[in-house]
Structure 1
């Protein structure tokens, strides 16, 4: 029986977990943007992520593809305006206004006329909705997506599609007669007019505009959840996808099966991906972040080690600092160690004034069934354990228990360690499907967390 999870399974499982958290507001979207980590996108803004995913949807693709033909039948209104002319007539003469003007000027110039001049009005409600929507899409495609030179982007927007849409938006004679989208304000009456229009162009524009606004407002209605489910995970690399799956599944299992703790809505003020609380304790879950810990050890220039081998390493670090500065002008800290675990779980006792760190779980996640990768992950994990600091080294603190979790995608180990708990990704799938597996997994997790207040269900 294959012990590893396929990419298809990871996409399905991770999407389901993520959308459930988004639906309930139980995940920090600011931290989430770092976890998604799309190739070519350096984004720390959840609103930008949502704009991009809106433009990746099939509905937007279909709307833009059909736009060149539809725009030829754009709706306008024929109106008249009073225009004063000199020696010419434009439209029909408004004799009442003209005679009044002559009388006011003592009939000095009877070559002046007030005319009802016909004109075509493009700034009607339906077109305001259309132009504002196209501005939102055009801005995102040209500023967020166009310069990304990766295959996943071209699967959604080819270079030719972007160029064609940009030319249409900037040069189409009909669109140019509508106020610039950036300066438009769309009202409820405008949206109603677009929704009730007999033209499919405006019905679809209204539907997409409404979808965008609800997505922007984090209103995760069923269709918004479906939209995110179709686009949110797919471009992510498989190793990152596996990390997300593991962190999301750990979070759900802690929420469902550790007595007393419940996931809390995230207000954005914390760097944690998710938070669980009881009346007197709090669990903070971090992905690809150091949380409130530090994994950074700087060498002291005035305190070289006595051992000759360590002394040579010490000297090489300072040599690198000095030579790098001489050759390039760049600065480099003389660092003994710098690291960042894949997952950190911190447990605090909460009080009226001070929250006391009680327990820490440090986790490393490897999307591999290769034994050498397992050993690499184990080595990294134990190094994190030794260098983790929180007001002093955790490993040396009797007040804080430190536990270690290594998750791989298919590696099987036959032994048991008191220091490290090893799980397979498939164990996390089975834990959510089978009550016996739930009990076994939670016993491992409870042991890994090493806190008397967290017991298996």
Structure 2
């Protein structure tokens, strides 16, 4: 299957992808799945990666020099001092009214600089909005390692300086004046491009947040700023992850795939709840970890030599590189796909489906994936360190996904192999009745 065919198949679900990739236009999105946890955060991130938003912030240090103020004239009476231009006519009137012998009374005309004009209020509101997104509403630090977002590591500093240190903006009392849509519309036609751009971005953001359940508004943004996974194997893994979701439910709530825990979606039926992960160790309720201490209990020359080799390697690493590695872990795993199933009534883990994906047409490589899958199935533990298949074989099911290989029906009821050439790739996930009492 070609990359374009895969994208066409999964784009409506893949809008939640926020890991390594490139931003571009995705015309394959027809009807995006908007049942998304933290939809606000997704929209904020997509707003930030727009080219015009980044360009606006990039040009701020220069454009802010064209900051505009207005002046208004006011008349004040002073005693013993002069501020501004003396208004002699009013001065004589004030002296006669107050004390005609007091020559220290002066009426002065002053020009007062006004910072709270509409365009400055719009500008500050736009920058305050960006500041809140970057520093208060979402944690962008995880995204800054990806190419499409890394420029914000520098740009967010510009936004912070403008809000906290800029002498002009600090005098704009935006808290006392609400920025209305009418003010924004008027600023859209301002001669100064700084204000025009600020008004455009602020209006776009307001419409986006106001209409976050308007599919047309949201789809337009997500189509223009779609993040394409940069690795073919990652896209293939996500293809199968999404196929599992699509074939299992119509009511999945999607999660942001941002590297935090890589939970992709969750859903429920009458009796069970389901959580599907991609490139993850799953929830804290399961473990893919075997400690060196546990293995050391086995009396076998091979095991002893493996542990001895680990100790020796650690000594050499410390001497040669002034650094070592984790000697407490003998094996750890991170499957491509995990589905955890729980009973709704007791929130008890009843089954785990483990998926291994190999984007290959070579049988040898597919068999390598099968061996990895079986390792995961045998070594997965519950949170107490008990191997799941020792509790009950039916608790763990394995799925191997490959590309262009003609596969036969598996003889094992606990392992299934799926190929793009398979006649039936529908993944009917069922939860067995567990006879063994779970701890």
**Residue 115 of structure 2 contacts residue 171 of structure 2 at CA under 8 Å; is this kept in 1?**
no
| Post-superposition offset of 1:293 | 1.2
Distance 1:186 1:243 in 2: 52
Give the Cα–Cα distance (whole angstroms) in 1 for the partners of residues 304 and 66 of structure 2: 79
Which residue in the other structure is 1:340 paired with?
Answer: 334
Could you tell me which of 241, 265, 271 is aligned with 1:274? Answer: 265
**Cα distance between partner residues in 2 of 1:103 and 1:57:** 64
Aligned partners of 1:152 and 1:235 also within 8 Å: no
Question: 1:336, CA displacement in angstroms?
Answer: 2.0
Task: Give the CA deviation at 1:341.
Answer: 0.8
Output the CA distance in 2 between the equivalents of 1:149 and 1:278: 37
Cα distance, 1:396 vs structure 2: 1.8
- Residue by residue, what CA displacement relative to the aligned partner does 1:257-278 show, whole Å, maximum 9, x if unpaired? xxxxx43587999974322112
Classify the secondary structure of the residue corresponding to 1:300: helix
Match of 1:423 in 2: 418
Q: Distance in 1 between matches of 2:59 and 2:417?
A: 53
Structure-2 residue corresponding to 1:308: 301
> 2:13–2:32: 8 Å Cα contact kept in structure 1?
no
For each residue in 1:291-340, what CA deviation from the matched residue of structure 2 results, as whole angstroms up to 9, or x when unmatched?
23100110227944322122211322344456656773656242221011
Q: Does 1:26 align with 2:49?
A: no
1:17 to 13, 16, 33: 13
SS in 1 for 2:286: coil
Q: Write the distance in 1 (CA, Å) between the matches of 2:229 and 2:263.
A: 23
Summarize the Cα distance change of 1:227–1:109 in structure 2 as closer, same or farther, 3 Å threshold. Answer: same
Alignment partner for residue 389 of structure 1, among 378, 381, 388?
Answer: 381
Aligned equivalent of 1:406, options 400, 424, 427: 400
Q: Which residue of 2 aligns with 1:60?
A: 53
Counterpart CA distance in 2 for 1:229 and 1:79 is 48
Is the helix fraction higher in 1 or 2? 1
Give the Cα separation in 2 of the matches to 1:56 and 1:227. 10
Q: 1:90 aligned to 84, 90, 96, which one?
A: 84
**Mind listing any 5+ residue stretches in structure 1 that lack a counterpart?**
31-45, 257-261, 428-436
Q: Which aligned pairs between 1:205-354 and structure 2 lie closer than 5 A?
A: 205-213=198-206, 219-221=212-214, 222-234=216-228, 236-256=230-250, 262-264=251-253, 272-289=263-280, 290-291=282-283, 292-300=285-293, 303-321=296-314, 328=322, 332-351=326-345, 354=346
User: Given that residues 75 and 107 in structure 2 are in contact (C-alpha distance below 8 angstroms), is that contact kept between their aligned partners in structure 1?
Assistant: yes
Task: Determine the structure 1 residue equivalent to 2:117.
Answer: 124
Q: With structure 2 as the length reference, what TM-score do the two structures score?
A: 0.70
Change (3 A) 1:185 1:281: same
Query: For residues 229 and 370 of structure 1, what CA distance do their matches in structure 2 show?
Result: 35
Aligned-partner Cα distance in 2 for 1:297–1:375: 23
RMSD between superposed Cα atoms in Å = 4.9
TM-score (norm 1): 0.68
Quick check: 2:57–2:158 contact (8 Å CA) kept in 1?
A: no
The count of corresponding residues between Structure 1 and Structure 2 is 398
